Structure 1
Amino acid sequence: MLLDPIDAPAETTAEDLHLAYLEELAAVVSDVGVDEAADRTGIPADTLAALVAGEQPQLVLDDAAAILALTDDWPDADVVMLEIRDSIMLGMSSAVLDVDALERALDDGLDAKTIQQMIEGRRPLPLATYAAIALTIRRENDYA
């Protein structure tokens, strides 16, 4: 999901991708149960309940990794985060994108320094922003 190739990137919006991520995360929480997911991830139960109810709570990438780690299909959250960061950096390298290019491409007012800090894990990376970054990389890189 977070690392899967993005099909038809030209026809996909960052919002579409963000919603797909939320739907997948909601399915995991629904399978595990809100209370157990809250206990195991540290994410507030009301946030997870809103996710399962189809709302769009403000999640960061670490939250998504913690939720995915609840399944047998994913490693623990720290490994998921490392894989995602590696994927971002490799995708940027092969697409010849730097954080300045991402700043110009993203429509959320973030500066290049903040984007770099988010990618490196020194600041929380909102899931919606990750969706925009992933989509930008994919649009610039046919191999991402």
Structure 2
Amino acid sequence: MFHEIVIEAAEDADDVNPEALLASFERLVSGAIAEAGPDQIVEEAGVESAAVGAAAAGDVAALRLEDAAAIATVPTDRDADAVVAELRDHLLMGMATAVLDVDTIAAAIDADLTGQEVQQTLEGRAAMTLGQLAAIAAVIEQRKP
């Protein structure tokens, strides 16, 4: 889901940027809410109704990746944890391909994160928002050969 958006963006554009990725993430999440309905999303995804309402209104930058995955998978037969794991694998493989370290990523993004915090978000030891994901993914895709 999310990693497919990143892959498609990289294939379709010469320059992958965080704003375009975040807009694509927003369409995925708000589309799932529109399809299943906010009440079903809250019930099945276990995400607070305020977060679902904000996401439905297009405010997804501060939405945690795990919550976004839980929302996006409600109308599908996919597992939210598997979606998050696939995304993390994609990001880490992209870092290896681009020969990037977490300090370089931290220096290249506007999300006030240190290299250690970037590493923690990539490994799932700290929460990552969709805004942070868009920024990190864009740097990785821009640096790939």
TM-score, normalized by length of structure 2? 0.88
CA RMSD of aligned residues (A): 1.6
Q: What is the CA-CA distance between 1:28 and the residue it aligns to?
A: 0.5
Q: Which moved more, 1:45-54 or 1:93-102?
A: 45-54
Q: Unaligned 5+ residue runs, structure 2?
A: none
Identity value in percent: 34
Q: Which residue, 70, 74, 77 being the options, matches 1:70?
A: 74
Q: Report Cα offsets for 1:52-102 as digits up to 9, x if no partner.
A: 233446201111111122132x62111111101100100000110110110
Distance 1:9 1:21, change over 3 A: farther
Q: Which residue, 127, 136, 143 being the options, matches 2:130?
A: 127
Distance 1:127 1:55, change over 3 A: closer
- The 3-state SS of whatever aligns with 1:3 is helix
State how far apart, in whole Å, the 1-side matches of 2:121 and 2:18 are.
Answer: 17
Does the CA-based 8 Å contact 2:69-2:83 persist in structure 1? yes
Q: Which residue of 2 aligns with 1:88?
A: 91
Equivalent residue runs for 1:14-29 within 5 Å: 14-29=18-33
Q: Unaligned 5+ residue runs, structure 1?
A: none
Q: State whether structure 2 residue 123 is matched by structure 1 residue 140.
A: no
Q: State whether structure 2 residue 50 is matched by structure 1 residue 46.
A: yes
Number of residue-to-residue matches in the alignment: 140
